[in-house]
Amino acid sequence: MHTRQLGPFSVSAIGLGCMNLSHAYGVPPSAEQGERLLLAALDAGVTLFDTAALYGFGANEQLVGRVLKPHRSAFTLASKGGMAGVRGDDGTLRRVIDGRLATLRRNCEDSLRNLQTEVIDLYYLHRWDKSVPIEDSVGEMSRLVEEGKVRALGLSEVSAATLRRAHAVHPIAAVQNEYSLWSRNTEIGVLDACRELGTALVAFSPLARGFLCDVLHDVSTLDAKDIRRAMPRFSPENYARNLALLPAYKALAKEAGCTPAQLALAWLLSRGEHVIPIPGTTSLAHLNEDLQAEQVRLSPELVARVDAVINQRTVSGARYGAQSSTEVDTEVFED
């Protein structure tokens, strides 16, 4: 697999987002299935594995740490703090965004233990806690670098302005924002800011949370705990309109000689050498399909036609609901 630069690291052009193995899309696969998928990705040449304290409230980090510890020198390990599970008085875990300095340090220590490693290669601020200046949060994270607990820093779901403020405190190796054909907010400012600053743009949900795989045709089949149920684009009304975009899109994939999922990933790779998609999956077949996208080559003319079919003007529904929208710092398109 070809490589791309992520801060001081040379990583596979397509990484693996590990969240699906423990979190977010209904009942996760068994630990044995997760282990097989992680090892298959490593064997296939993936050298960027992405997890977070939030995913499964530590379970995803524990899985990644246990399975990949024997191969620790063979890949770049990324995790995230500043958004994790906190147990309430009733014993239930709830998601909390907390960028206070002591919390970030505690999150990092917890992640090091869960991941069974002495150092995290790339440590992200999972969400900017807007009650804490970004300079303060990044300043504390930079001390983790000085102490040898972290090698490089990243930010997730931030705007170009916030990236520049953070970068002035400590170099930011990567910004991880949602980026796909149907989520173009990154193109407002962050994509160019990352190129200018030498920062990688790590694209999460590059397959539009399954939409661009052409496998989800009925949103009523989603698990009751699937996070997509709360996303406006997956409401029955909006999703029906979005499905109407797929025939033209699939025709373009056929013309390119690839699957719809591969076209989505190849399109992202064409956006710049600093763009690194991290699709996630629980399926070995889908993993192999995703990784083969790196071999797809698209002409500028075909890229333009793909752009015209699925973009922020043709997609129905907002990316997040009202609450989640307040938790991110990314730019938004004007209506």
Hey, which residues are catalytic here?
A: 55
CA distance 1 to 295: 9
Q: Say which amino acid occupies 264.
A: A
Q: Which residue carries 């149907």 as its tokens?
A: 182
Residue 50: its H or E element = strand 48-50
Enter the DSSP assignment of 311: S
Taking alpha carbons only, the member of 90, 114, 91, 110 closest to residue 102 is 110
Question: Measuring CA to CA, how many Å separate 317 from each of 194, 214, 230, 324?
Answer: 27, 18, 11, 14
Cα distance between residue 298 and residue 258, in whole Å? 10
Q: What is the C-alpha to C-alpha distance for residues 154 and 50, in angstroms, rounded to an integer?
A: 12
Residue with tokens 């504390």: 140
Quote the CA–CA distance of 328 and 157 in Å, as a whole number.
6
